[in-house]
Amino acid sequence: MSFTLAVVGRPNVGKSTLFNRLVGKKLALVDDQPGVTRDLREGEARLGDLRFTVIDTAGLEDATDNSLEGRMRRLTERAVDMADICLFMIDARAGVTPIDEMFAEILRKRSAHVILAANKGEGSAADSGVIEAYGLGLGEPIRLSAEHGEGLNDLYSQLLPLSEEFEKRARDDAPETDVDLDDTDEEGDEFDDLPPQPTAEKPLQIAVVGRPNAGKSTLINKILGEDRLLTGPEAGITRDAIALRLDWQGTPMRIFDTAGMRKKAKVQEKLEKLSVSDGLRAVKFAEVVVVLLDAAIPFEQQDLRIADLAAREGRAVVVAVNKWDVEDEKQEKLRALKEAFERLLPQLRGAPLITVSAKTGRGLDRLHAAVLKAYDVWNRRVPTATLNRWLTGMLEQHPPPAPQGKRIKLRYMTQAKTRPPGFVVMCSHPDKVPEAYSRYLINGLRQDFDMPGTPIRLTMRGQN
């Protein structure tokens, strides 16, 4: 479990310098192609033994004066909503400016955890700025020099307790058991671990992915019920992925929009890579991934790749076939789609396939239900006693093979994790269990415990 830190503040205070220092390499696209660094960028940061995601609200410099404030506000709000912690940076040499005050106000209202940093803090020229920073009402500022790497210890000391808090919260939310051979579940424990429900604090994270023009933006806008994604003529505002909070039919959700993916055709080589990684980021961010297909051209290479990626990353997947409003032979088409789905994506066996029209809104109820169900399945925990009764039945029905006349013994089984469900089978010769036998067990688990679609991990382990 890690957390996300957003670095926010007005242009030129040193956000990117800190970002680069935390990420440790020049991951950013630093050239001045318009629109490239305009939005949010994200990197994997390390600070001491902490590992976390850092978001930088880079590149507002090129905004014209009258749009700067609004843009900054929107971008900052977005970053704040995506993050667990905000690092608010001011320039200690310049002191506190009115724009800094505006930021402070946004953060006080919107962010649960703010760390205040007075950057460019090396040398005595920064002294008065550091003192002014107290006046922002956001607690004691860290005196930082992003450029010289000073003050990072103080940053670490502020992040550490928060990180521990998030970790504890994650543990409490999703109790993970280690494989424990003494774990003797009692009868009736079927009702113990009810799957967690999405809450305002922990909304269900969903991403809509798919090829350009599949209808992702249309769908997200329909779900949001307003035209919030394309917020006007400012190019690049949706280039990078953004996260939006919403209540979809009463379910608190965060939806990850990768609108940027569709603008791919217009940009060059380097950006191309960035856009592809958008899809990856979306998948990593999400608990449930909605793979949106265009009914006219379903299951293209790109669709298959992203669906496979989602499965490999262990995400719950819902396939939605869009533009269903323009299909005539609906019955026949649906049959063909289901057949293609099973053939092309066997790793997602049983995942729901929902036909929708993002344009008219038809099918969105069913999509909502499928997303919730997928989330539920993804979180499901099967009690150990139940599992082992089940395993006994499976072994009787179809005993494992006996290579060289020696039967492989599957002794005991437990669910080691959720999100997605992962099972461990203790057995005599883990390396000799054929793939086909594991598949038999996985398919059995899917069917008997009603876990369609979700990736199921099954590990064979020898006893030691």
Site residues, ligand GDP (CB under 6 A): 11-17, 58, 119-120, 122, 145-148, 210, 212-218, 259, 262, 322-323, 325-326, 357-359
Tokens representing 255 are: 């939806």
Q: Is 57 annotated as a binding residue?
A: yes
State the Cα–Cα distance between residues 453 and 70, nearest whole angstrom: 43
213 annotated to a ligand binding site? yes
Q: What tokens were used for 1? A: 């479990």
263 labelled binding-site residue: no
Sign of CA dihedral 295, 298, 303, 304: positive
User: CA 129 to CA 137: how far, in whole Å?
Assistant: 14
9 is annotated as contributing to ligand binding = yes
Q: Which is nearer to ligand GDP, 292 or 377 (CB)?
A: 292
Minimal distance, residue 376 CB to ligand GDP, in Å: 27
Q: What is the β-pairing status of strands 242-248 and 251-257?
A: antiparallel
**Nearer Cβ to ligand GDP, position 79 or 460?**
79
120 is in an annotated binding site: yes
- Minimum CB separation of residue 453 from ligand GDP in Å reads 22
Give burial (CB, 10 Å; 0-12/13-18/19+) of 265: exposed
212 is in an annotated binding site: yes
Residue 217 assigned to a binding site: yes
Distance CA 339, CA 68 (A): 52
Q: Which two tokens stand for residue 443?
A: 């398919």
Cα 344 from Cα 11, distance rounded (Å): 48
Closest approach of ligand GDP to the CB of residue 316, in Å: 21
Q: Mapping DSSP to helix (H, G, I), strand (E, B) and coil, where does residue 79 land?
A: helix
CA diameter of the chain: 82
Burial of 464 (0-12, 13-18, 19+ CB in 10 A): exposed
> Kind and range of the H or E element at 354?
strand 353-355
Cα–Cα distances in angstroms (integers) from residue 410 to residues 169, 293, 348, 423, 460, in the given order: 35, 41, 26, 13, 9
**Length of the chain, please?**
464
C-alpha to C-alpha distances, 19 to 46, 59, 96, 270, nearest whole angstrom:
10, 13, 21, 20
Helix, strand, coil content of the chain in percent (nearest 5): 40, 20, 40
Q: In whole angstroms, how close is the CB of 212 to ligand GDP at the nearest point?
A: 5
Instruction: Please say which residue, 218 or 428, places its beta carbon nearer to ligand GDP.
Output: 218
Confirm whether residue 216 is marked as ligand binding.
yes
Residue closer to ligand GDP, measured from CB, 144 or 387? 144
Give CA–CA dist 175/171, Å, rounded: 5
Q: How far is the CB of 341 from ligand GDP (least distance, A)?
A: 19
Pairing of strands 40-47, 50-57: antiparallel
Q: Is 122 annotated as a binding residue?
A: yes
Least CB distance to ligand GDP at residue 114 (A): 17
Distance from chain centroid for Cα 250: 21
Annotated binding-site residue? 58 = yes
Which of 88, 449 has the CB closer to ligand GDP? Answer: 88
Q: How far apart are CA 35 and CA 41, in angstroms?
A: 12
For residue 220, the minimal CB distance to ligand GDP (Å) is 8
Comparing CB distances to ligand GDP, the nearer of 297 and 326 is 326
Is 261 annotated in a binding site? The answer is yes
388 annotated binding-site participant: no
The answer to whether 167 touches 49, Cβ cutoff 8 Å, is: no
From 391, 381, 393, 385, select the one nearest 450 (Cα to Cα): 381
Nearer to ligand GDP, 367 or 460 (CB): 367
Residue nearer to ligand GDP on the CB measure, 357 or 454: 357
Shortest distance in whole angstroms from residue 94 CB to ligand GDP: 10
Residue 150 marked in a binding site: no
Shortest Å distance, C-beta 325 to ligand GDP: 5
Report the nearest approach of ligand GDP to the CB of residue 436 (Å).
38
What DSSP assignment string belongs to 227-286?
A: --SS-SS-TTTTTS-EEEEEEETTEEEEEEE-GGGGGGGGS-HHHHHHHHHHHHHHHHH-
Considering the complex, state which of residue 147 and residue 313 has its C-beta at the smaller distance from ligand GDP. 147
Please identify, using beta-carbon distances, which residue of 104 and 441 lies nearer to ligand GDP: 104
Binding residues: 9-16, 56-60, 119-122, 210-217, 257-261, 322-325
Binding residues for GTP: 9-16, 56-60, 119-122, 210-217, 257-261, 322-325
